Amino acid sequence: PDLRHLHATILRGGPEPGSSMPTEGPGIAIGTAADLKPAQLPPTVGHFTGRADDLEALDRAFKSRGAESLVLLVSGLGGLGKTALLVQWAHAAGSEFPDGQVFLDLHGHDPVRSLTPRSALGAALTALRVPRTEIPDGLDGRVALYRTVVSGRRVLLVADDAASTEQILPLVPPTTASQLVVTSRLRLAPLSAHHAVQALALQPLTANASRDLLGRIVG
């Protein structure tokens, strides 16, 4: 019991029993891990160029969402910059989601690392600060808990490199307060049978944009 109490005290940022914590300058309140909001977006890529129209299309799609859950989908061949585009947009739209941003790499086209829907939900719940001991084992239980946790929050969820509709369906937020955005090499047409989808088929950079990008890189 004493060890558990000491462990809990340390996690709370409190002083060890019988000791005092050193301070520097004004006192700073230290929150527990459960108080942290997820901020998992990768940094934006350097030399981002040639995608102004695509960023505007994502903005229009997001602002036009109605009363039903909307999935923003960016599809296209591997290497076109789908993730870079979505991360760029997500950083710009970050203020719309004060309760945090969750980034899930589904590894959809990696036969070894590809996440099952159950594993993807587990990763999302962990990112949303749900203790691992409280995450159900079964898929249905995780879906129910995920919807409960997300409901009433304004969270951005980025699901990168999806390989199937099955990977995405459990991650769709229950309300329009939160937003799910997805990248995939596939168009994931069956997704539209379940939810409203705004799809952006990403094209290769134009010749001018390609030259501009090359010039920025090589100087």
Phi, psi (deg, nearest 5) at residue 53: -65, -40
CA separation for the pair 19, 5 (Å, rounded): 15
Q: What secondary structure letter does DSSP report for 193?
A: G
CA separation for the pair 89, 134 (Å, rounded): 33
CA separation for the pair 100, 128 (Å, rounded): 8
pTM: 0.82
Three-state DSSP at 96 gives helix
> What per-residue string of b and e applies to 166-202 under the rule 16 or more CB within 10 Å gives b?
ebbebbbbeeebbbbbbbbbeebeebeeebebbbbeb
* Beta-carbon count within 10 A of 136 CB: 16
Rounded to the nearest integer, the mean pLDDT of the chain is 89
Task: Summarize pLDDT for 11-48 with one digit per residue, the tens.
Answer: 766 554 454 444 434 443 444 555 789 999 999 988 89
Write down the pLDDT at residue 1.
75
Task: Summarize pLDDT for 53-95 with one digit per residue, the tens.
Answer: 999 999 999 998 887 889 999 999 999 999 999 999 999 999 9
Q: What contacts 48, CB < 8 A, 6 or more positions away?
A: 84, 88
| Residue type for position 124 | A
Instruction: Tell me which H or E stretch contains 74.
Output: strand 70-75
Which of 153, 205, 162 minimizes the C-alpha distance to 181? 162
Q: Which residue has the higher pLDDT, 36 or 156?
A: 156
Angle formed at CA 114 by CA 55 and CA 180, multiple of 5 degrees:
35
